[in-house]
Amino acid sequence: MNIGMLLNGNYPADIRVRKEAETLVENNHSVFILCKRNPDEKVYEVVNGVQVIRKIEYRSLSHEGIIDVIASVGFVHPFFKNELPYFIKENKIEVLHVHDLPLAKTAFLAAKKKHLKTVLDLHENYPAALMTWFSWRKNPLIRIKNKLFFSYNRWRKYEARIIKKFDILIAVVDEMKERLIEQHKVSENNIVIVPNSEKKEFINNFDDSATSYFTGLEDKFIISYVGGFGPHRGLHTAILGMKYVSKKIPNALLVLVGPANNDVRNHLQNIINQNNLQDFVEIRGREPFANVVNIMNNSSVNIIPHISNEHTESAVPHKFFQILLSGKPLLVSDCAPMKRLVNQFEIGTYFESENPESFASSIAEIYTDYDVALEKSKKGNNESLNGELNWEFTSKNLVHLYDNLKF
C-alpha cells in the first residue's frame, strides 16, 4: 500500500513519525512523507526505506508563524494544500495519514477529491495543549494572536467537526481514546491506540563506560528532568518541592535540562531565586542527544512532574519509556496515563500533581529505600525489553490497522 504522511515538522527528527514510518516500510508498505525542509536538507531523500519529500519551506521562524496564522483562519494550510495534488499523483498515494490536528482539514479535502482513505494521528490533545503552551507567554502581541487564532474553544470546536470525517483515528493512550468517545461521540471501532513506546534497541544508547555528565557532582543525589520547559511540565512543582527535599537530603540537586524560551526560563529562575534554592536547583539549556541519555543513565532519579490537565491526561511522553530503558528510578506525577502504567507494571513511583510536599515526600521515599526504587527500575527495564512496554509490541496495532484497511 502507498501511504502518504503529512508532517508539519522535520523528518527524521520527529521520533514518533519516524518509528511509525519505518515500521510500516518493514511490513511491506511504501511510505512517502511530505514535510518541512531546512536549508541544509535535501528536497528528496530515502531514509531507512522511507521516501522523504521536503517541499514545505519557510524563510524564517516569523514567516512560519505568519503561515500558521493564515492556516488557522480556515484550518487549511496553504503550502500543503498546493503541494498535495502533486504529492498524491506522483506517488500514487492510496491513504493519507496526517500527523496531528492542524493539517487535518487540509488532508481531508485533498483525500476527498481523490477518494482516498484517511488516517488522523493525534499525537496529543491539541486544543488543550494550546491553552497550556501559551499560559506563560508575556509578549502582548503573541497573547493577542493566540487569543484570536489559537484559543482552546475555537480548536475544540474544529476538532469535534473534523475528526468525524476521518476513516481511522490514532490515539496515543487509552485515556485519549476515552476522551474522543466521551467528548465527540466517536465510535470506538474507529480508534486505534499506538503509544509513544521506544524500540528495544534504544537501550544501546546507554554507555556505562562514558564519562558521566555529572562529573564533579559525585557527592550529589541527582534529580533530573530532561525535556521541554512548557507550563504543563510541572517544573515549578519540582522546584518548590526542593524547599522540602533540601531539609531531608542536603546533598540533593535538581537539574533541569532542555530548551526554553526566555519567558519560561525567567519564570522558573524567579521561582528559584525567590525561594533561595540556587544551591539546590540548576537550569541548563538544550543538550545533544548523547548527553540526554548520559543524564538519564547517571541520575539518581529521573522525573516527569507534569501538572494534571486535559492535555497531560491524554498522553505519555517518549521519555517515560526511555527512562525505563535507562534502568534508573522513575518518578512521575499522578497524571492518569503515567500513574496507570506505574501501578500496573510496578515500575516507578508517583506523587500528587502540583503538590511540592508530595513531590518531596516521594523523593525522600526513593532516597531512603533506594534498593526498592532500583527493583522497580529493574522491572521497568525488563518490561521494556521482554514485555509490553516497547515499540515492537505496541506497534502491532499500527501494522494491523494498515494490513486490514478496507477500501
The pLDDT, as a whole number, for residue 238 is: 97
CATH of span 201-389: 3.40.50.2000
One fold for 2-197+392-403 and 201-389: yes
Is residue 47 packed enough to be buried (19+ CB in 10 Å), middle (13-18) or exposed (0-12)?
A: middle
The pLDDT, as a whole number, for residue 92 is: 96
The grid coordinates listed for 173 are 493512550
Q: Tell me the residue type at 345.
A: F
| Cell 500527523 belongs to residue | 99
The pLDDT, as a whole number, for residue 263 is: 79
- DSSP H helix total and E strand total for the chain: 17, 14
Residue 197 is given by DSSP the state P
The pLDDT, as a whole number, for residue 142 is: 62
- Let me know: does 238 contact 361? Beta carbons within 8 Å: no
| Average pLDDT of adjacent 10-residue blocks, the chain of 407 residues | 96 95 96 96 96 96 89 94 96 96 96 95 88 62 64 90 96 94 92 95 91 92 92 91 96 93 86 95 90 94 93 90 96 96 96 97 97 97 96 96 86
Q: What is the pTM of this model?
A: 0.89
Class of domain 2-197+392-403: alpha beta
- Let me know: does 339 contact 350? Beta carbons within 8 Å: yes
The pLDDT, as a whole number, for residue 249 is: 96
CB atoms within 10 A of CB 380: 28
The grid coordinates listed for 273 are 531565586
The pLDDT, as a whole number, for residue 247 is: 94
Parse the chain into domains and list their residue ranges: 2-197+392-403, 201-389
